[in-house]
C-alpha cells in the first residue's frame, strides 16, 4: 500500500513539473514566433529576473502578496466551493487601509503601532468580502461564484468612489490618493531594490495559516468538507460553518496581502481596476495542489514569470498578455485528473502484481 502512495505522490509531482514545462515551453515558443529577436526575448524572459538586484527585487516584491493570496486561496480551494472573492477583498482592504492611514495621520503614531492596526483593518475588510458570498451561499443557497463576481465589481466601483471623493489628490495629474504618511510605510531592507519589510511580515501569517490548516479542528473540518461533503455532514461536521470559515480566512489573508503590498511598494493608493491578485492566488494554490505549505513556492514561480514578462514589456514590444494564456493552460493541465493517469495506473497495477507474485512465492 505504501508503495502505491509513493507512486501517486511521485506522479503528482511529475504532473506539475510536466505541466509547468509544457506551459513554459509553449510560451517560449510563442515568444520566438512573435519577436524579431527571439534569443534576446527568451533571455530577457527566462534569465532577465535574475540579472540585477533591482529586477530580483521585483520578483520578491511580487512574491509577497502572491504568497499571501495563494495561501488564502488554498483555504477556498481546499473547501471545494469556488468563490472569486480575491479581487474584491484585495481592492477593499487596500482602499480602507489607505483611509485609516490618513485618518490616523494627525496622531503621528509610530510604525510599530500603526502596522498592527492597519493589518487588522486590511484583514477585516478582506475577511468581510470573503464572508459575504459564503454566508449568502450557506443561508440562501446562492451560488458563491456568481455573488462574489458581482461583489467584485461593487467593490471596484465603491473603492473608486472612495478614492475620488475622500482620497484623491487634486494637485497631481493622475488619479491617485495623497502621499501615504511616512509612519505607515514599510522600510526597505535592501539598498538598490524595492524589497521591503513585508518579507518578514508575510511568513508570520503564512505560518499561522498553515498551522490553522493542518493542526486545528477547523482546518481539518475544512479539508474534510472539501474532499467529501456527505462524509463531513454525516460525521457531524457543520458543513456550511466550515465553508464560511474557509472563505473568511481566505479573505483575511488576501486582505493582509493587500495591506502589506500597499504599504510596502506604493507611495499613494492608486488601484483603479480589478487587480487580478485573487486569480494569481488561485493559480498559486492550484500549483501547490491545495497545500498552503507549497503555495509560496507556486507564488514564487508566478512572480518570476510575471517579472520576466514585465521586463520583456519594457525592453521590447512583445505583448506580455501571453502569460495569462499560459496561466490558464497551467490550471487546465494541473487540475486535469486524467493527465498522465494511464501511465500511473499501469505502474500501480504492475507494482501490485509484483507484490501478489511475491506473496504467492513466500506462501
Partner 1 sequence: MTEVATFLFSAIRVSTPLVYAAIAAVITQQAGLLNMAVESMMLSAALAGVMISGATQSALLGVLGGVFFAVLIAMVIWYSAFIMKCDLYLVSISMNAGLVGGTVFVMYLATKQKANTIGYIMSKTVGKLDIPILKDIPFFGEILSGQNIMTYVAVIAVAVTWFLIYKTKLGLRIRSVGENPSAAESVGINPVKLYGISFALSGVMAGLGGVYMSMGLMSYFARDMVAGRGMIGVSAMNVANASPAGSALFAMLFGVSDTIANYMQIIGIQPQLIAAFPYAATIVLMAILAYVQHRRYQKYLAKKLSQSGFEI
Residue 35 is a binding residue for partner 1 (CB under 8 A): no
Of the residues 44, 78, 84, 128, which one makes contact with partner 1 according to CB under 8 A = 84
Residue 276 is a binding residue for partner 1 (CB under 8 A): yes
Q: In whole angstroms, how far apart are CA 189 and each of 52, 71, 198, 216?
A: 16, 24, 9, 34
Residue 193 beta carbon to partner 1: minimum distance, rounded to whole angstroms: 28
Cell numbers at 309, concatenated:
514578462
**29 versus 328: smaller Cβ distance to partner 1:** 328
Interacting residues with partner 1 between 145 and 184 (CB under 8 A):
145-147, 149-151, 153-154, 156-158, 160-161, 164-165
Residue 326 beta carbon to partner 1: minimum distance, rounded to whole angstroms: 8
Gap between the Cα atoms of 320 and 97, Å rounded: 30
Assess contact for 247 and 144: CB atoms under 8 A: yes
Sign of CA dihedral 101, 107, 110, 115: negative
Of the residues 17, 32, 34, 355, which one makes contact with partner 1 according to CB under 8 A = 34
Residue 335 is a binding residue for partner 1 (CB under 8 A): yes
Sign of CA dihedral 228, 230, 233, 234: negative
Of the residues 286, 287, 288, 311, which one makes contact with partner 1 according to CB under 8 A = 286
| Nearest residue to 222 via CA among 80, 71, 125, 115 | 80
**117 versus 329: smaller Cβ distance to partner 1:** 329
Element (DSSP H or E) covering residue 255: helix 239-265
Residue 218 beta carbon to partner 1: minimum distance, rounded to whole angstroms: 23
Which residues neighbour 213 within 8 Å (Cβ) at sequence distance 6 or greater? 74, 75, 78, 219, 222, 223, 292
Size of the site for partner 1 (CB under 8 A): 45
Using alpha carbons only, how large is the chain's radius of gyration in Å?
23
Interface contacts to partner 1, rule CB under 8 A: 34, 82, 84, 136, 140-143, 145-147, 149-151, 153-154, 156-158, 160-161, 164-165, 276, 279, 282-283, 286, 317, 319, 321-325, 327-329, 331-332, 335-339
Amino acid at each position: 500500500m505504501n508503495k502505491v502512495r509513493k507512486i501517486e505522490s511521485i506522479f503528482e509531482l511529475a504532473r506539475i513539473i510536466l505541466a509547468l514545462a509544457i506551459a513554459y515551453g509553449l510560451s517560449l515558443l510563442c515568444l520566438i514566433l512573435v519577436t524579431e529577436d527571439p534569443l534576446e526575448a527568451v533571455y530577457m524572459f527566462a534569465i532577465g529576473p535574475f540579472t540585477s538586484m533591482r529586477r530580483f527585487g521585483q520578483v520578491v516584491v511580487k512574491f509577497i502578496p502572491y504568497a499571501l493570496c495563494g495561501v488564502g486561496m488554498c483555504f477556498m480551494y481546499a473547501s471545494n466551493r469556488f468563490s472569486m472573492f480575491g479581487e474584491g477583498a484585495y481592492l477593499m482592504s487596500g482602499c480602507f487601509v489607505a483611509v485609516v492611514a490618513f485618518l490616523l495621520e494627525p496622531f503621528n503614531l509610530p510604525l510599530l503601532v500603526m502596522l498592527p492596526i492597519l493589518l487588522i483593518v486590511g484583514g477585516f475588510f478582506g475577511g468581510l468580502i470573503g464572508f459575504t458570498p459564503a454566508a449568502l451561499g450557506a443561508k440562501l443557497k446562492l451560488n458563491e461564484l456568481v455573488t462574489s463576481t458581482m461583489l467584485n465589481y461593487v467593490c471596484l466601483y465603491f473603492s473608486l468612489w472612495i478614492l475620488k471623493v475622500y482620497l484623491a489628490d487634486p494637485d497631481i495629474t493622475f488619479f491617485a490618493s495623497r502621499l501615504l504618511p511616512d509612519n505607515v510605510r514599510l522600510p526597505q531592507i535592501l539598498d538598490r531594490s524595492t524589497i521591503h519589510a513585508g518579507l518578514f511580515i508575510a511568513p508570520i501569517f503564512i505560518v499561522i495559516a498553515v498551522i490553522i490548516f493542518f493542526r486545528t479542528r477547523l482546518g481539518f473540518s475544512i479539508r474534510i468538507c472539501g474532499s467529501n461533503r456527505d462524509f463531513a455532514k454525516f460525521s457531524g461536521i457543520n458543513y456550511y460553518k466550515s465553508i464560511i470559515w474557509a472563505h473568511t480566512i481566505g479573505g483575511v489573508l488576501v486582505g493582509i496581502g493587500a495591506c502589506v503590498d500597499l504599504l510596502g511598494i506604493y507611495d499613494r493608493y492608486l488601484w483603479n481596476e480589478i487587480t487580478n491578485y485573487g486569480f494569481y492566488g488561485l493559480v498559486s494554490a492550484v500549483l501547490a495542489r491545495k497545500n498552503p505549505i507549497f503555495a509560496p513556492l507556486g507564488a514564487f514561480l508566478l512572480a518570476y514569470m510575471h517579472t520576466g514578462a514585465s521586463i520583456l514589456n519594457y525592453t521590447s514590444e512583445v505583448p506580455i498578455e501571453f502569460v495569462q494564456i499560459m496561466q490558464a493552460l497551467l490550471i487546465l493541465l494541473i487540475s486535469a485528473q486524467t493527465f498522465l493517469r494511464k501511465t500511473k495506473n499501469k505502474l500501480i497495477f504492475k507494482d501490485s502484481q509484483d507484490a501478489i507474485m511475491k506473496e504467492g512465492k513466500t506462501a
